[in-house]
Structure 1
């Protein structure tokens, strides 16, 4: 496949990194330093304006997908529109634009085919939605939904007091429609079997029906339905949208924002939310507002460094769970290393959507976890899929991958070796990067 990426910042660079090994990738970027970084990959790099019709005309012929992911909404939109006009065959070229302005988009992912954009994605809104899901389950550091909400994935950190700590897989008493698909232990990824044990500080991935996830919350000692207290530091797009989302679940919310005019805008829009004009690093302000009584503190300012500082202060003042935004990918592991419970990135949302667009037919959803150490992919099995019509034990499934869940005619199933996948089944697969190509071939 031929892919053109406009913008080589954090988002563009990681899209190129995900695609270049098996695709013909061209990157267009104005900044010289970003060009040099992208040039380290095996891709063609052009320094220039990605919305320039002359530059686009040179590269667009034969292109399958164009992704405009610069920091300018207008450049991204114009680049997609111009590309469709230049290429003529509008059905062949797929376009995706990253946008952040709420004037252009009011939900995480939208289609604007009438103006030449197949997918319009707002990473900030997508990230806010992800954080809202995490907040719904206090023990979780990541949550994703598949098969139109019939399957959920939850990533947990195993504490010393956790139900899962020091238990062997065969001794876990989980619901039939629930499975532990993976264990992340330092740099290792384990696809567990009955004899494997779960240790303190492991990250585990649990996949199952939403009802089964409620049972797990009970095992972890959580009180379902309790009104939670949430403090959001940063009232930008992410903070505002997050407050709007979680407000529906009847949480007590406080927002701290440094800009007075923005505070007034939020207060006018969100009734029932306490908006405070101040600095999220002001310890006296945090103490006065009872930060030690908060269930969760979420720091989502536009500064990674400030988010880290706010999170560390919150931890020091007794907050059990802190979530921080990190736009720089190399900061995510650092955040979690020093005590941040969950570091979330707008970049991941965009990369996941690109992977879904580029990996082929039959893929309904895809998400990367633990900094791209593994992926969870939802496929729709077709009549031509090699995995259809035979018991799973007879399928040559690659090492490093496991069928975690199947949705057959609306019914959720944890598959055994005797299970036979049928046409139109939704199949949720956990896979390491080394197994992705082999898994994809089974569903072609």
Structure 2
């Protein structure tokens, strides 16, 4: 495909990095340093305004996909609208716009085809939804749903005192509709076997039927037995939307926001939430507000460095689980290395959506985990798929991938060697990046 990316910041750069080897990629940005960074990849770089019609007219010839991911919502929207007017063959041309202002979008991903935007993505809302999913689950650091909610993925961190340390995976006695799809141990990614033993600090990915995942959650930590105490540091778009979601659940919630006017706005819109005007790095304030008694502390200000500091202070003062927002991709692993339980990045939602558009027909969902070390991909099997009509044991499946779940006519199953995938089945695959191309060929 020919793909034009407007904006070479963190989001744009990582989209280009993920796609440039298999596609013809053009990157447009006004900033010299961003262009120089993008130029390190094997892509064409144009320095200029991505909403400029003359620049777009030059770049869009034979283009299949335009991705507008600058830091300005209006530039992204205008670029998509203008591109739709410029490109003649609209049947195969798609546009994606990243937006952050909730005035433009009220859910993580939306369609705005009437104004020329095929996919509108709000990374901040996606991030808030993801964090809300894992708040009340002990030791959970990631959550995702597939096949319209029929399949659930949870990623758990195994603490030192967990009763599972030292056990073999086959001793977990999981329900037949749940499976351990991966182990992340230090920098290693393991496609697991029953004899693999769980070690302290392992991250374990479990995929299964949502009804059965409740028992899995209980394996990785005791139930709180009361309303969970949650503190959110930062009342921006992510913090506010997260608080809005959490306030509907069974939580005792506090928000700390440094800006006085913003604090008043949040308090007016969320009357059942305690909003405090103060600095999240103020140790005395955190102590006074009982940060050591919190089940979860989430730092989601607009500063990565401040989020890290807030999270580490909260952890040091006794917070049970700390989550920190990290906009810079190279900070994610660093945050977790120094003691943050989970570092979450809003850019990943945009990257995942673009990857789905570029990976061809039959792909419903793409989710990257552990900082892009691996992906969970949901395919719909077609009658032409090489994987259809024969037992799985007879298919040469790549060693770096595993079929975790199949949804067949509404029924969710963990497929064994004799299972035969049929046309129309929804197939959830865990795969290392090195195995993706080979897996994709099986579903073509």
Shared fold by TM > 0.5? Answer: yes
CA 1:269–1:169 in 2, change beyond 3 Å: closer, same or farther?
Answer: same
Shift of 1:136: 3.1
Shift of 1:138: 2.5
The residue aligned with 1:193 is 193
The residue aligned with 2:290 is 290
The residue aligned with 1:247 is 247
Superposed CA offset, 1:37-85 (max 9, x none): 0000000000000000000001111100000000000100000000000
The residue aligned with 2:28 is 28
Determine whether 1:443 maps to 2:443: yes
- In structure 1, the gaps of 5 or more residues are none
Shift of 1:159: 1.8
Q: In 2, distance between residues paired with 1:363 and 1:225?
A: 40
Counterparts of residues 284-323 of structure 1 (less than 5 Å) = 284-323=284-323
Q: In 2, distance between residues paired with 1:170 and 1:138?
A: 22
Q: In 1, distance between residues paired with 2:265 and 2:171?
A: 53
Indicate the RMSD between aligned Cα atoms, in angstroms.
1.0
Q: When the two structures are aligned, how many residues end up with a matched partner?
A: 444
Shift of 1:199: 1.3
The residue aligned with 1:171 is 171
> Does the 8 A contact of 2:139 with 2:221 survive in 1?
no
Q: In 1, distance between residues paired with 2:251 and 2:283?
A: 23
The residue aligned with 2:229 is 229
The residue aligned with 2:11 is 11
> Does the 8 A contact of 1:109 with 1:119 survive in 2?
yes
CA 1:365–1:163 in 2, change beyond 3 Å: closer, same or farther?
Answer: farther
Paired residue secondary structure (1:77): helix
CA 1:379–1:226 in 2, change beyond 3 Å: closer, same or farther?
Answer: farther
Shift of 1:381: 0.6
Shift of 1:216: 1.3
Moved over 4 A (4+): none
> Does the 8 A contact of 1:304 with 1:327 survive in 2?
yes
After TM superposition, the score normalised by the length of structure 2 is 0.98
Shift of 1:197: 1.7
The residue aligned with 2:213 is 213
> Does the 8 A contact of 1:231 with 1:255 survive in 2?
yes
Q: In 2, distance between residues paired with 1:83 and 1:136?
A: 43
Q: In 2, distance between residues paired with 1:385 and 1:225?
A: 48
> Does the 8 A contact of 1:217 with 1:224 survive in 2?
no
- In structure 2, the gaps of 5 or more residues are none
Superposed CA offset, 1:80-132 (max 9, x none): 00000001322221000000011111111110000000000000000000110
Q: In 1, distance between residues paired with 2:342 and 2:308?
A: 11
